[in-house]
Amino acid sequence: MRITFLGSTSQNGGSPTLYATDRNSLVVRGYQITDPQALADLGEVPAGEADIEIPLELLRYYTPPAAHDEATSTPTAEDKAKEGR
Protein backbone atom coordinates (compact mmCIF):
# COMPACT_ATOMS: atom_id res chain seq x y z
CA MET A 1 0.00 0.00 0.00
CA ARG A 2 1.25 3.48 -0.87
CA ILE A 3 0.34 6.47 1.34
CA THR A 4 -0.09 10.10 0.24
CA PHE A 5 -0.25 12.93 2.79
CA LEU A 6 -3.44 15.01 2.34
CA GLY A 7 -3.30 17.45 5.23
CA SER A 8 -3.13 18.03 8.95
CA THR A 9 -4.41 20.45 11.52
CA SER A 10 -1.34 19.65 13.65
CA GLN A 11 1.66 21.93 13.61
CA ASN A 12 4.13 19.21 14.63
CA GLY A 13 3.28 16.28 12.35
CA GLY A 14 1.15 14.53 14.96
CA SER A 15 -2.57 14.03 15.21
CA PRO A 16 -4.81 14.64 13.48
CA THR A 17 -3.49 13.90 9.99
CA LEU A 18 -5.27 12.58 6.91
CA TYR A 19 -3.71 10.35 4.22
CA ALA A 20 -4.99 8.70 1.02
CA THR A 21 -3.94 5.27 -0.16
CA ASP A 22 -3.56 3.70 -3.57
CA ARG A 23 -6.31 1.27 -2.52
CA ASN A 24 -9.07 3.93 -2.69
CA SER A 25 -9.16 4.36 1.09
CA LEU A 26 -8.14 6.87 3.74
CA VAL A 27 -5.77 6.53 6.67
CA VAL A 28 -6.19 8.75 9.71
CA ARG A 29 -3.72 9.48 12.44
CA GLY A 30 -6.13 10.52 15.14
CA TYR A 31 -6.78 10.57 18.83
CA GLN A 32 -7.14 7.41 20.88
CA ILE A 33 -10.56 7.23 22.49
CA THR A 34 -10.22 6.94 26.25
CA ASP A 35 -13.59 8.17 27.51
CA PRO A 36 -15.20 5.21 29.35
CA GLN A 37 -18.74 6.03 28.17
CA ALA A 38 -17.65 6.38 24.54
CA LEU A 39 -15.77 3.07 24.75
CA ALA A 40 -18.86 1.38 26.21
CA ASP A 41 -21.01 2.85 23.41
CA LEU A 42 -18.59 1.58 20.75
CA GLY A 43 -18.47 -1.94 22.14
CA GLU A 44 -15.76 -4.52 21.62
CA VAL A 45 -13.18 -3.70 18.95
CA PRO A 46 -12.28 -6.66 16.73
CA ALA A 47 -8.64 -7.75 16.62
CA GLY A 48 -6.61 -5.69 14.17
CA GLU A 49 -9.02 -2.73 14.30
CA ALA A 50 -9.14 0.52 16.26
CA ASP A 51 -11.66 3.31 16.78
CA ILE A 52 -10.02 6.68 16.12
CA GLU A 53 -11.51 10.12 16.74
CA ILE A 54 -10.81 12.84 14.19
CA PRO A 55 -12.05 16.43 14.11
CA LEU A 56 -14.43 17.18 11.23
CA GLU A 57 -12.22 20.11 10.16
CA LEU A 58 -9.60 17.57 9.05
CA LEU A 59 -11.94 16.41 6.26
CA ARG A 60 -11.41 19.70 4.40
CA TYR A 61 -8.29 18.03 2.99
CA TYR A 62 -10.30 15.24 1.37
CA THR A 63 -11.70 15.57 -2.13
CA PRO A 64 -13.83 12.63 -3.29
CA PRO A 65 -12.45 10.93 -6.43
CA ALA A 66 -15.63 11.89 -8.35
CA ALA A 67 -14.63 15.55 -8.07
CA HIS A 68 -11.40 14.75 -9.93
CA ASP A 69 -13.38 13.10 -12.72
CA GLU A 70 -15.69 16.04 -13.48
CA ALA A 71 -13.68 17.07 -16.52
CA THR A 72 -14.22 13.66 -18.11
CA SER A 73 -17.83 13.13 -17.05
CA THR A 74 -20.69 13.02 -19.55
CA PRO A 75 -22.67 16.30 -19.62
CA THR A 76 -26.25 16.15 -18.39
CA ALA A 77 -29.20 17.54 -20.36
CA GLU A 78 -29.13 20.55 -18.01
CA ASP A 79 -25.42 21.12 -18.74
CA LYS A 80 -26.09 20.97 -22.48
CA ALA A 81 -28.98 23.44 -22.17
CA LYS A 82 -26.74 25.89 -20.31
CA GLU A 83 -24.18 25.65 -23.11
CA GLY A 84 -26.88 26.14 -25.78
CA ARG A 85 -26.59 22.65 -27.26
pLDDT in tens, 19-32: 999 998 899 998 88
> Could you tell me if 28 and 10 are in contact, meaning their C-beta atoms sit under 8 angstroms apart?
no
> Could you tell me if 58 and 9 are in contact, meaning their C-beta atoms sit under 8 angstroms apart?
yes
Q: What are phi and psi of 24, to 5 degrees?
A: 60, 45
Give the helix/strand (H/E) hosting 37.
helix 36-42
pLDDT digits (tens, 9 = 90+) for 8-63: 988 887 889 999 999 988 999 988 899 999 999 999 999 999 898 888 899 899 88
Q: Flag whether the pTM goes above 0.85.
A: no
Q: Rounded CA gap, 80 and 58, in Å?
A: 36
At residue 29's C-alpha, the angle toward residues 9 and 58, to 5°, is 35
